Amino acid sequence: MAAKGTPSVASGFGGAGMSLMKSGVNNPNPILHGGMGQAERAFSAGSTFLSGLLAISASQFIGAPLKLVDPKFYDSYMAWTKESFAVLMTTITQWWSPTLVRVSGDESMKGQLYQMDDGTLKCNFPHRLVLMANHQLYTDWLYLWWIAYTNKMHGRIYIILKESLKQLPIFGWGAQFYNFIFLSRKWETDKWRFKQAFNHLRNPEDPMWLLIFPEGTNLSEVTRAKSASWAKKSGTTDMKNQLLPRSTGLQFCLQELKASTNWLYDCTIAYEGVPKGMYGQDIYTLKSSFFEGRPPKSVNMYWRRYRIADIPLDNDAVFGRWLTNRWREKDYILEYFYKFGHFPACDAVSAMQAVEGKKPPQHAKAISTEVKGGGWDEFLSIFGPITTAAGALSSVDMTEPLNFDAILGKVAMQQQLNLLELGKAPITTKSQEAIRGALQAANLQKALPPGLMDKLMKELPDTQEKMQKLLANSGFPDIAARAANAPAAKAQLPPSAQQSIRKAALQVQQGVIRASPPGRKANSVSSIPVGGEASNTPRKPTTPNPAKSMQKSMPMANMQAMVTRPLSTMAVQTAAKTLRNAAAQRAKQNGAVLPGQAPPKKASVNGSAVPKKVNGVAKTTSPLTAANLAAAAKKPPAGSKAVGTQKSVNGKVAAAKKPPSGSMAVGTQKYVNGKKA
């Protein structure tokens, strides 16, 4: 039976395989780089990883205040930083540890796995699922995160980790921003942490992949002995290629999420080149994989899925037996793989019979691909927020103290405008699963040619424009002609709508820099205009709040890369531009007060300023401001004449009067005993 008590925890960064100094034992691949080459690769890979990690961490801190302004936008922004980490790890793996990946599955995975024309893998998994896997190596989580990358879900994956990883500098901080779940392996404490985390993950419309390793840690000589000891104590037959699973954590996750999540996906991972009786973590270390050029010969995945409604979750003992049976099947599948080098096309029992020679082997078809990212543009986008923030701050007028509340309010207001301006970003269906269902329902109403339907299910167009292009290039003339004449949603909004948006944005900016009543308390951060305090007194807004409903109608599932990236930079740029405009407007009207200087006070009678009179003539005094000081420095002394107005005598300019000989400038005379020298 499955072990009870300790919930599932991903080992993450633990284990011997994380050694940077030890070379792999019995690694079947030859060493490709000598001492100098390894040093160069260690420096280049390490510097790339650290620079990317620091950039992502800085981006997280830059976006942290958004949680106070717009929690939904904050979640999307942090999902983008999570995407950035997946891109970073994918790129480093592609450049320094290129790995062959083979993916296959049983009948339940039909229509879920595709290989694109360029050889890359595309997964069509649902936007919400719980993912369980056996834990063979410390890099299991990396390859599973890459699977989420192929499904455009790498920003919405949540991993269960050891509590000790929470304290790691940079990585631990980032994982907390990602809402990863940290467990102490004490169920009384961890149950409460699970509940807290699931309060954030229950919404069925929010995309979520929850990754869990029921074995609790990766396979090694030490953990192998502990599993055998537990099997002997509980009277259970031990596994040959895995550890006995722990049922408590997984059962609790499924019970909490069953109302909003339909599927439990199971991945069986196997690494090629691990000799019998040895463990992957001892062969494929960080040094061998990234520095010596000896990564795993191939990473192999076998996928199955189960409907959560069909799993016995209400009885602990029955669920424990169910989970143990699934792990026993995985063990048979791994036996088949280690003997034949392929996963089976038959069920697990038949696979074990083929291993014993009682049946002929039947290999499953597999997609062979490599871990690849999106190229330089995608990698460099990791550094976008910090470079944009640095550029914006360098151009902000720092002659006055910054009002950070006003900046945050402006970012929230501008974010709503940006959602409107991003009409080129399509409003998609809630999930790829919904798109598939819509296509199948449409096909039942009026059947499409088989080849076209297969292409639609493979591409899953999520906008009308993409659908139009796909049909136009389908190879069926009648369908292409009808698609060409169909009124599809173009990539941009109509000119009239764009003009309305620009007009609304201009009105908002003008309203922001307009003077506002001073000295009154703000209702909320979003009501604070730049350059003046907000008011609790009801007053008409300068413009209507632009389309709050737009935020609700634009789902973030599979759209973070299209929506969040532009917003993260546009909001900072626009806020900085508005600050500069507001400062310039105030300087034009009132003068820019020097840093630390109080605004000038004006005497008033019945609310109107009373100028001073000199010899019966009203005389105004200018405030001591930076603008007036600069103007005063340029103004000629009283009594002087401008060039071209000097008095001429006999065609010659009259010489200026010179001071008497021996006289000195005022303030420079020498005094002796209180008298002029």
How many other β-carbons are positioned within 10 Å of the β-carbon of residue 637? 5
Asked whether residue 292 falls in the same domain as residue 167, the answer is: yes
Residues 264 and 128 in one domain: yes
4, pLDDT greater than 90: no
**Number of structural domains the chain divides into:** 3
pLDDT reported for residue 643: 44
CA distance 169 to 662: 73
For the segment 49-84, what is each residue's pLDDT rounded down to a tens digit?
999 999 999 988 888 888 888 888 888 889 999 999
Only one residue has tokens 């401008």, namely: 642
Q: How high is the pLDDT of residue 8?
A: 47
| 388 or 158, which is more confident | 158
Answer whether residue 447 shows pLDDT above 50. Answer: yes
At which of 526, 557, 589 does a domain end? 589
Residue 677 confidence (pLDDT) = 52
The answer as to whether 10 is a domain residue is no
**Do 254 and 333 belong together in one domain?**
yes
Both 251 and 131 in one domain: the answer is: yes
**What is the structure's pLDDT at 481?**
79
Higher per-residue pLDDT: 319 or 545: 319
Task: Based on the fold, state whether residues 121 and 141 are members of the same structural domain.
Answer: yes
More confident residue, 672 or 445: 445
Residue 139 lies in a domain: yes
Task: State how far the Cα of 593 lies from the Cα of 531, in Å rounded to an integer.
Answer: 12
Clarify whether residues 480 and 415 are in a common domain. no
Predicted structure pTM score: 0.63
pLDDT at 234: 86
Same domain, yes or no, for 354 and 400?
no
Q: How far, in Å, CA of 581 to CA of 572, rounded? A: 14
620 in a structural domain: no
% of residues, the chain, pLDDT over 90: 33
Nearest Cα neighbor of 123 from 148, 106, 156 is 148
pLDDT above 70: residue 147: yes
How would you classify the pairing of strands 157-162 and 208-212?
parallel
The CATH number linked to 273 is 3.40.1130
The answer for residues whose C-beta is within 8 angstroms of residue 330's C-beta and 6 or more apart is 134, 242, 266, 268, 348
> What is the mean predicted confidence (pLDDT) over 267-289?
88
Residue 655 domain flag: no
Tell me: do 295 and 328 sit in the same domain.
yes
Is residue 632 situated within a structural domain?
no
What HEC string does 353-401 produce? HHHCCCCCCCECCCEEEECCCCCHHHHHHHHHHHHHHHHHHHCCCCCCC
Q: Is residue 582 part of a domain?
A: yes
Q: Is pLDDT above 50 for 515? A: no
Last residue of a domain, one of 541, 570, 589: 589
Helices 248-257 and 187-199 pack at an angle, to 10 degrees, of: 30
Using the predicted structure, report yes or no on whether residue 406 has a pLDDT greater than 70: no
Residue 371 has what pLDDT? 94
Tell me if 239 is assigned to some domain. yes
Where a domain ends, among 485, 505, 524?
485
Whether residue 359 is found in the same domain as residue 478:
no
Average pLDDT, the chain: 74
Listed in sequence order, the residues at least 6 apart from 139 whose beta carbon sits closer than 8 Å to its beta carbon are 17, 284, 289
Residue 446 sits at φ, ψ, to 5 deg, of: -145, 110
Least confident span in 110-124, 302-316, 538-552? 538-552
Q: Are residues 412 and 444 in the same domain?
A: no
What pLDDT sits at residue 601?
Answer: 52
Structure tokens at 549: 């409903």
Identify the pLDDT of residue 47.
94
Average confidence (pLDDT) over 444-453? 79
Q: Is the pLDDT of residue 199 over 60?
A: yes
Distance (Å, whole) CA 246 – CA 236: 13
Q: What are phi and psi of 57, to 5 degrees?
A: -65, -40
Q: Are residues 451 and 552 in the same domain?
A: no
**Shared-domain flag, residues 300 and 343:** yes
| Residue 149 is assigned to a structural domain of this protein | yes
Q: Which domain holds residue 462?
A: 432-485
